[in-house]
Amino acid sequence: MLAWLAFLPFALIRSENLAESDTFWQVRTGLLTIAEGRIPSVDPFSWTVSGKPWTLNSWAFNVVLGFSYEAAGLVGVALICACFVAVIGGLVLLLARRLGAAPVLSAWVLLIGVPLLTLFLSARPQLVDYIAVLALVMFLQRLVEVPKPVWPLIAIAVLTTLWVNLHAGALLGVAIVGASALLVFLRRSTRSRSGWFLAALLVTMLCSLVNPYGAGLLAQTLQVKSESAVITEWQPFNPADPLQLVMFAIGLLGLGVAARRGDPVFTAAIGVAVCGSVAAMRVLPILVLLALPVLAAFASHEVVLRYFASRRRLFFQGATAVLVIAVGLAVFNLPFFGRPDPAHFPRTAIKAIPAGCKLFNEYQLGGLVILERPDVPVSIDSRNDLYGAERVTQSLRVLDGQGDLNEGLSGADCVLVPPATGLARWLNTNPGWVLKSAEPTAELFIRR
């Protein structure tokens, strides 16, 4: 509990700035869903693909953000996401405790893992994936331990149903349960539990269909992957990236420890996350979160504990210093809590866009425009599965100032792009456009 309380300031610090474009259009979509009492079926936000069929893979999460926004604006959105992060930290510590890890080592392992995870703990439905995977592993372990684990089976059913509606990442849970069932069957000491794991696999498969799109959600998930070729987080694992390499190494170490301990559930879950991370780097945080409890338990060796006891004062002072700094930063940042990151988003320029103006915008800026200026149709935003890889690539070429720019801006009456782009430089010298607003993060141009 003390380790978890020490983690809370880090959850608040991460939620200070909202830096993901997804967050903003998800809030607006949630507000639209609440207002109309139904899930949007076609795109209502752009002028380039207006009316195109749109499948939402996180409709319930959008509604949660919508209610949070109605209650307290973006502060409410940041606060609910900070609560999600706090739950993630709590589940990591709880799993470490169940594996026999010492509290002090669990705390240090979690604090060491926080810097690696910071970039991924943004206000997006992936937070639900992190919580759900950790909870799923906890329930699967109960299938091994409890004589007649009816309640863990029911818990898995409820978890999967909630998960698939909050985010389509629930399909990862099916893979984890399937891999766990296989390892439980192959291990002689747990083979008698195979029936319960097969039941869990059937439950997760059936409950994954309990969503507004049914089995169509699988096709939508595959479409997201195919249409995200130019998106960084969907790229395969890159060992040349130091952050990715460290995270992957931690995952492999956790996999080795889990296999050596003979733990079929953690071995299966981490193994699935390793395969997922190779295919797409966005799975790396799940890999690290699953590995942390295993590594905390592994580190809780008598020799290590004696060393910590002999250096108790040193570690206490170090932990106190880290915690004081974290609390200080959290308190200092409270006045800015929930703001769109000023290093990425030009709020003044967005306010200056004429009403109803068809906007050509940079990819990351579309989300905040959708939230703050729903009267302004955007050209593109981070719903890359809706726009398709070809349209996203063409938008990036225009942004770089390549090709026929007059043709690229056809249909647009306003442009909102970063000042360092090739398009911004071209517009500054083009008599057909006038600069209306300029900020370090973006310039707004109006067609004459």
pLDDT over 70 at 264, yes or no: yes
% of the chain residues with pLDDT over 90: 72
Look at residue 225 in the predicted model and tell me its pLDDT.
Answer: 67
- Tokens 């300031």 belong to 9
Look at residue 227 in the predicted model and tell me its pLDDT.
Answer: 66
Per-residue pLDDT tens for 207-239? 999 999 888 877 777 777 666 666 777 788 999
Look at residue 220 in the predicted model and tell me its pLDDT.
Answer: 73
Look at residue 224 in the predicted model and tell me its pLDDT.
Answer: 73
As a whole number, mean pLDDT of residues 398-419 equals: 95
Per-residue pLDDT tens for 383-401? 988 898 889 999 999 999 9
Cβ-proximal residues to 219 (8 Å cutoff; 6+ apart), any chain:
none
Look at residue 226 in the predicted model and tell me its pLDDT.
Answer: 67
As a whole number, mean pLDDT of residues 199-204 equals: 96
Per-residue pLDDT tens for 16-39? 789 889 999 999 999 999 999 999
As a whole number, mean pLDDT of residues 423-439 equals: 95
As a whole number, mean pLDDT of residues 171-184 equals: 95
pLDDT over 80 at 15, yes or no: no
Mean pLDDT of the chain, nearest integer? 92
Neighbour order of strands in the sheet with 443-447 = 359-361, 414-417, 443-447, 433-438
Per-residue pLDDT tens for 276-314? 999 889 999 999 999 999 999 999 888 888 888 888 888
Look at residue 50 in the predicted model and tell me its pLDDT.
Answer: 93
Look at residue 228 in the predicted model and tell me its pLDDT.
Answer: 67
pTM of structure: 0.93
Look at residue 229 in the predicted model and tell me its pLDDT.
Answer: 61
Per-residue pLDDT tens for 41-86? 999 999 999 999 999 989 999 999 999 999 999 999 999 999 999 9
As a whole number, mean pLDDT of residues 172-187 equals: 95
As a whole number, mean pLDDT of residues 231-259 equals: 92
Per-residue pLDDT tens for 317-347? 888 888 898 889 888 888 888 899 999 999 9
